Chains A and B, each alone.
Chain A
Amino acid sequence: MAKKELLKVEGLKQYFPIKGGFLGRTVNHVKALDGISFTVYEGETVSIVGESGCGKSTTGRAILRLEEPTEGSVTFQGTDLTKISTREMRKFRKDLQIIFQDPYASINPRQTVASLLNEAMHIQNVLPANERRARIEELLETVGLRPYQADRYPHEFSGGQRQRIGIARALSVDPKLIICDEAVSALDVSIQAQVLNLLEELQDEYGLTYLFISHDLGVVRHISDRIIVMYLGKIVEIADKTSLFENPQHPYTKALLSAIPVPDPDAVKNRIVLKGDVPSPIDPPAGCRFHTRCPFATDKCRTEEPLLRTTSAMKGEHEAACHYIEEIAAGTMIEK
């Protein structure tokens, strides 16, 4: 199957200014995203994982220009979204939708479900007004709600149902790409499974592409085709799902995977417990950003930034940003 490029992110940077001092000048920057590049193909699910502050949500927001990116390009079907006017961007929002983590905060409490969905369709001019009601009822059924619930207010729904409303809203404008920013993180597992299954069914039915942002590697393994691992504003590893979970290369990815508690009391645990905390993104470490916590770090890691690369032991488009992939795999690196 020929893969068709849908979204291409190149050298994306997002610096947030820190104001301070007597005159309230910009004294420094939070380097939330510091030059990341990746491609999303049509019909696939790409996940971005990482811990708090790694820049995964910022990536989603920068792609949609909810925050104007500092540098870099976001090419969606041939158009660089960072170069167009806000008016033109609005047209593209029809194709690029987002579902947020907190269904309580992302839905207007004073709007009924019908008026919420109607508004989205009205703004994007999706259907003539007289056909919208039928479409709203159809959408509610699609996401597992009942048509008669269309005239209810958000507080009359549970958390899982509200997330379904968020999905219905995203779907109402026939998008091509949906960015799911921690979309199932606030839900209990029994409900989370329902929503994950729904997202998969919708993908099959409408040929949707997902950019799935999550900190939960269980969810990510379940839903993704490819996975991007981020640490402190940089991509440290990118691979298809199987390679990433079965053959992780970057020391951070390995530590991250080993840190997750396994729901099996007999599981063999080779836990790599990382020392310390994630450094501040205001003043990220020089060289490899992970060197302050990496058990293998050398002087080279402290000065020279590693780039994403692949080795003969890595299959497909698997890439990792580490100077010592081969040495670590061969076991010749000394662990501190």
Chain B
Amino acid sequence: MNEMENILVVNNLQTTFKTDAGDIRAVDGVSFTVPKGKTIGIVGESGSGKSITSLTILRLLASNGRVNGGEVLFKGKDLLKLPEKAMREIRGNQISMIFQEPMTSLNPVYTVGQQIGETIQIHKKVGKKEAIQQSIEMLKLVGIPSPEKRVKQYPHELSGGMRQRVMIAMALACDPEILIADEPTTALDVTIQAQILELIKDLQNRLGMSVIMITHDLGVVAETCDYVAVMYAGQVVEYSDVRSLFKNPKHPYTLGLLNSLPRHDIEQEKLIPIKGMVPSPHEMPVGCRFAPRCPVATELCHNKMPQLLNTNDSNAEQIRCWMFSDEWDGDSEVTLYGEKRTIKG
């Protein structure tokens, strides 16, 4: 594989929240890279830290949140070290974000045009008239019919799918290099979801931006992403290209997740769930965080945390699992969710 230009490199990111019940390490060792023009998916269940990761990248954490370590290199510059003023130049201009619930992220008392226009006025330093004109262009770009009329409407006059299109128009108004999409279609019906995913893909091809797609939906990942980081309990447990992830999942959690998923496209006999539940953020296991639920966990897994390491396979795959290290102390052949696996020592 050719060495690609990475527009964003996240290294060992750590984010902690102060709460009355003690500190919560919401993100604890997240690393991934975003190649230029590609889409990377961050997938995980509730509480895995996927949204906090994106908020940390943009430095939008709540006041009780703190970044304890790691770096976020955007074109070689560490965003975590930038002064707030410089960060503001990047936010919305070079890296922008869309959220799950377009109703709560749009201001109900301003028209669509005023909201998109504001972004354009601030970042492109143009007048009000020109900004409105550009807003209409943006609405046209995201496929909103009769944009001249829509630009004067308020968010409540639009449907959910339309609102998400407006959010996208706003996010793309300044030609960002990276779009972070945090569950952009979760609140939408599937037929509308199909429209929005198509739109994001189409715009990406036309504008050449990179996309970070944060989602819990493995279908969305398979369809839109080039690379995927699977998160569990605040950590990346597997990072690989999308094909390898679905065809040859390596981490027991990834495999468990795929096995739990009811499919509409094929007939399945029985679902094989992952036993137990996600550990509480106040009582994280000392070893591998998945060990309490993992069907093949050993002494080592319970006592020592594995690192996210490159696998021997080329495709820039990374795994956080003792099975893929020389230190593995379990059997050389294990059965994982009904699948036999030989472990290379």
Contact = CB atoms under 8 A, between A and B. Distances in A.
B125 interface: no
B223 A192 contact: no
Interface stretch (A37-45, A70-78, A174-182, A251-259): A251-259
B264 interface: yes
Contacts, number: 130
Contacts of A192: 260, 262
B255 to A, nearest CB: 11
Interface stretch (A104-112, A165-173, A217-225): A217-225
B220 interface: yes
Interface centre among A160, A215, A264 (most CB of B within 10 A): A264
B119 to A, nearest CB: 25
A262 B264 CA distance: 8
Interface in B175-234: 189-195, 197-198, 216-224
The interface size bin for chain B is 35 or more
A262 to B, nearest CB: 5
B133 interface: no
Given A274-B191, A277-B159, A263 B261 contact: yes
Interface centre among B190, B257, B278 (most CB of A within 10 A): B190
A273 interface: yes
Nearest to A280: B159
B193 A259 contact: yes
A273 B194 contact: yes
B191 A219 contact: no
Nearest to A277: B159
Interface in B311-326: none
A249 B161 CA distance: 26
A261 interface: yes
Interface in A207-222: 215-222
Q: A-side binding surface: helix, strand, loop or mixed?
A: helix
Contact of A260 (B219, B242, B268, B271): B219
Contacts of B274: 190, 193
B113 to A, nearest CB: 21
Given A197-B273, A265-B222, A274-B191, A219 B243 contact: no
Interface of A: 51-52, 158-161, 188-194, 196-197, 215-223, 242, 245, 255-267, 269, 271, 273-274, 277-278
Interface of B: 45-46, 159, 161-162, 189-195, 197-198, 216-224, 242-243, 246-247, 256-265, 267-268, 270-275, 277-278
3 tightest A-B CB contacts, nearest first: A261-B219, A193-B273, A193-B260
